[in-house]
Structure 1
Amino acid sequence: MALTAETESRLYRSLRAAAGAAAHLVALGFPTAVAVLARPGSSLFSWHPLLMALAFSFLMTEALLIFSPETSLLRSFSRKVKVRVHWALQLLALLCALLGLGIITYNKHLNGKAHFVTWHGLTGLLTVLYAGGQCMGGVLLLYPKLMKNWTLAKLKLYHATSGLVGYLLGCASLMLGMCSLWFTTSVTSVSWYLAMLCPLLTSLVIMNQSWIACSVLSPGSSYDAHDTERAGATHLMPASVGMLPSTGLIWRRQDRSCHIPGEKGRESPLTQEAAAGTALPLVLRRQLGQ
Structure 2
Amino acid sequence: MASAAAPVLDRPIQTLSITLCVAIALAMLPAAYEGQLFAWHPLFLVLGFLGFMTEGIMAAVRFRPNEGLSRVQAITNHAIIQSAATACIAMGLYAIYHNKNLKGKQHFTSLHGKVGLCTFLLALAAPLLGAASFRRLGIIQRFPEPWQPRIKWLHRLISVYAHVLAVVTMLLALPHPAVLTGAWSLSWQVGVIVLSGCMLYTLRGRIGMKTVLPASAGGSAAALSGPKHK
Report the TM-score range of the alignment, normalised by the length of the smaller protein.
Answer: 0.7 to 0.9
Aligned residue for 1:37, secondary structure, equals helix
Determine the C-alpha separation between the residues in 2 that align with 1:94 and 1:66.
Answer: 16
Deviates more, 1:163-172 or 1:151-160: 151-160
Matching residue of 2:173: 177
Deviates more, 1:174-183 or 1:23-32: 174-183
Q: Find out whether 1:29 has 2:10 as its counterpart.
A: no
Once the two structures are superposed, the pairs formed by residues 16-95 of structure 1 within 5 Å of their partners are: 16-39=6-29, 40-42=32-34, 43-69=36-62, 78-95=70-87
Matching residue of 2:109: 117
Q: CA RMSD in A?
A: 3.0
Q: 1:173 to 1:217 in 2, by over 3 A?
A: same
Structure of higher CA gyration radius: 1
Q: Find out whether 1:157 has 2:153 as its counterpart.
A: yes
Matched to 1:128, the amino acid is F
Determine the C-alpha separation between the residues in 2 that align with 1:179 and 1:115.
Answer: 18
Give a deviation string over 1:57-98, Cα, whole Å, max 9, x none.
Answer: 10000001113449xxxxxx9221221111111111111111
Matching residue of 1:188: 182
Matching residue of 2:222: none
Q: 1:146 to 1:179 in 2, by over 3 A?
A: farther
Aligned residue for 1:117, secondary structure, equals coil
Matching residue of 1:202: 195
Which structure has more helix as a fraction of its residues? 2
Matching residue of 2:128: 136
Determine the C-alpha separation between the residues in 1 that align with 2:151 and 2:204.
Answer: 16
Q: Find out whether 1:96 has 2:92 as its counterpart.
A: no
TM-score, length-normalised on structure 2?
0.76
Post-superposition offset of 1:118:
1.4
Determine the C-alpha separation between the residues in 2 that align with 1:213 and 1:180.
Answer: 39
Matched to 1:51, the amino acid is F
Give a deviation string over 1:177-206, Cα, whole Å, max 9, x none.
Answer: 3442222xx3314x3332122222222232
Post-superposition offset of 1:19:
2.6
Matching residue of 1:107: 99
Q: Which runs of 5+ in 2 are unaligned?
A: 64-68, 216-229
Post-superposition offset of 1:51:
0.5
Give a deviation string over 1:236-279, Cα, whole Å, max 9, x none.
Answer: xxxxxxxxx7xxxxxxxxxxxxxxxxxxxxxxxxxxxxxxxxxx
State, as a whole percentage, how many aligned pairs show the same letter: 21
Determine the C-alpha separation between the residues in 2 that align with 1:130 and 1:103.
Answer: 19
Determine the C-alpha separation between the residues in 1 that align with 2:208 and 2:150.
Answer: 12
Matching residue of 1:234: none
Determine the C-alpha separation between the residues in 1 that align with 2:84 and 2:9.
Answer: 25
Give a deviation string over 1:3-22, Cα, whole Å, max 9, x none.
Answer: xxxxxx9xx93x65443211
Kindly indicate whether the alpha-carbon contact (under 8 Å) linking 1:178 and 1:196 is maintained by their aligned counterparts in 2.
Answer: no
Greater relative contact order structure (CA < 8 Å, 6+ sep): 2
Matching residue of 1:260: none
Q: 1:69 to 1:141 in 2, by over 3 A?
A: closer
Post-superposition offset of 1:158:
2.3
Aligned residue for 1:93, secondary structure, equals helix
Q: 1:206 to 1:152 in 2, by over 3 A?
A: farther
Deviates more, 1:171-180 or 1:32-41: 171-180
Kindly indicate whether the alpha-carbon contact (under 8 Å) linking 2:129 and 2:151 is maintained by their aligned counterparts in 1.
Answer: no
Determine the C-alpha separation between the residues in 2 that align with 1:48 and 1:180.
Answer: 14
Q: Which runs of 5+ in 1 are unaligned?
A: 1-8, 71-76, 223-244, 246-290
Matching residue of 2:119: 127
Q: How many residues align?
A: 203
Determine the C-alpha separation between the residues in 2 that align with 1:176 and 1:27.
Answer: 20
